[in-house]
Amino acid sequence: MIRKTIQTALCMVALATVPLFAQQKPKKALPPPTAAKVGIKSTNNVAEAEGLKTKFYEFIDAYANIEKTKDKEKVLKFMTSDVLSTLIGFNLAGKMNIIHSDYKGFGAYLDKLTTTEGMQVNYVLENIDKVYVNGNLGMIVYGVEYELRKGGEVWSKGHETVTLTYKKVLNEWKIVQYVVTQVEDEKTKVQCVCELTQDKSTQDFVMKTTIPTGRSYTTEINPVGFMQPQEAKVIGIGEKFYKWYPNGEVKALEEPTQVEGVIPETLIGEVKDMNDKLAVVSLIITKHLYKTNCNAVELKVVK
């Protein structure tokens, strides 16, 4: 097994929509492939397979160093202009998502890698399963273990199997297609999904929130009430209460102290539009109620 961990910065959105690649050449080179390993009989093709592997490692190295070089052309030069890609992703719930992309899309992804900071990504190139050459066509299949971190916290873990299809163009191996199958093993930070069902007779809601809890998802249902005393709007979600002040400040009401009548308030953010209930619910979910699990929230109002 080949293991080598590297780190680079990119945003969560990009990770959710584009393939992930192993990003480091192994510490020591693999022995030359035998005919059995590459799946063909010709010794000449075995030599071609070794050349293909060398080109593969050059691509991996260029991709690994893009954070330093800021030069996406050093990566794109390994692909044809008509390259196509497919990302097949399975989340913790087993739901499948398929995304198709091309040369322009991968270039936009590389732009995000060079400009977005804050997310640390660890990749481990676990193994190369197959190196195959047939004439001017070639294929490499390899496995990846990935881990996404931010602020020292693990946001997501999983495994990928990547297939790169090559074609010789002017006697040089170029990637013409890549297919990534990604299986998520664990997730602690994600865009959560929240459904708000409004009570027609009041301005209140019932909130159903789906959040990640490591290796599975949990759904919680809480009533959401808006009350209007003189000082500020009071929002009750389950057993938690919040104050929404006219200046836009939103504060969480903590457990009372030993001093009689004193309830500590913690500022969690601001929502200036006092009529935007969805915005204040989203703020409460991501900054207080489910802050350890939800980095963003998708709100849906069910009528």
Domain ranges for the chain, please list them.
5-185, 190-302
Would you say residue 289 has pLDDT above 80? Answer: yes
Distance CA 188, CA 151 (A): 13
Looking at residue 28, its pLDDT comes to: 41
Torsion sign across C-alpha atoms 130, 134, 139, 140: positive
Would you say residue 15 has pLDDT above 60? Answer: no
Are 153 and 144 spatial neighbours (Cβ–Cβ below 8 Å)?
A: no
Name the residue with higher pLDDT: 115 or 100.
100
Torsion sign across C-alpha atoms 254, 256, 261, 264: negative
Confidence of residue 41 (pLDDT cuts 50, 70, 90): very low
Distance CA 108, CA 14 (A): 10
Residue whose C-alpha is closest to residue 233's, from 249, 254, 256: 249
Would you say residue 188 has pLDDT above 60? Answer: no
Name the residue with higher pLDDT: 110 or 160.
160
Measured between alpha carbons, how far is residue 258 from residues 113, 243, 262 in Å?
50, 21, 8
Residue 142: phi and psi, rounded to 5, are -145, 160
Looking at residue 1, its pLDDT comes to: 37
Amino acid identity of residue 38, one-letter, is: V
Q: Which of 65-79, 252-266, 278-292 has the lowest mean pLDDT?
A: 252-266
Long-range contacts: 265-274, Cβ < 8 Å, 24+? 268/242, 271/244, 272/248, 274/233, 274/244, 274/246, 274/248
Name the residue with higher pLDDT: 58 or 117.
58
Q: Which of 19-28, 40-49, 141-150 has the lowest mean pLDDT?
A: 19-28
Q: Which of 132-136, 168-172, 228-232 has the lowest mean pLDDT?
A: 228-232
Looking at residue 31, its pLDDT comes to: 42
Please give the average per-residue pLDDT across 5-32, as a whole number: 37
Would you say residue 166 has pLDDT above 90? Answer: yes
Torsion of CA 32, 33, 35, 39, to 10 degrees: -160
Strands 153-169 and 172-187: antiparallel
Q: Which of 39-43, 106-110, 203-207 has the lowest mean pLDDT?
A: 39-43
Tokens of 23: 């990003």
Looking at residue 260, its pLDDT comes to: 60
Torsion of CA 286, 158, 89, 163, to 10 degrees: 150
**Residue the block writes with tokens 């190369």:** 128
Q: What share of the chain is helix, strand, coil (3-state, %, to 5)?
A: 20, 50, 30
The model's pTM is 0.55
Distance CA 39, CA 130 (A): 8
Amino acid identity of residue 274, one-letter, is: M
Name the residue with higher pLDDT: 48 or 25.
48
Residue whose C-alpha is closest to residue 287's, from 278, 277, 297: 297
Confidence of residue 198 (pLDDT cuts 50, 70, 90): confident
Most confident of 166-175, 208-217, 223-232, 277-286: 166-175
Looking at residue 9, its pLDDT comes to: 28
Confidence of residue 29 (pLDDT cuts 50, 70, 90): very low
Distance CA 135, CA 148 (A): 39
Give, in words, the CATH class of 5-185: alpha beta
User: What integer best gives the mean pLDDT of the chain?
Assistant: 75
**Residue the block writes with tokens 């390899």:** 142
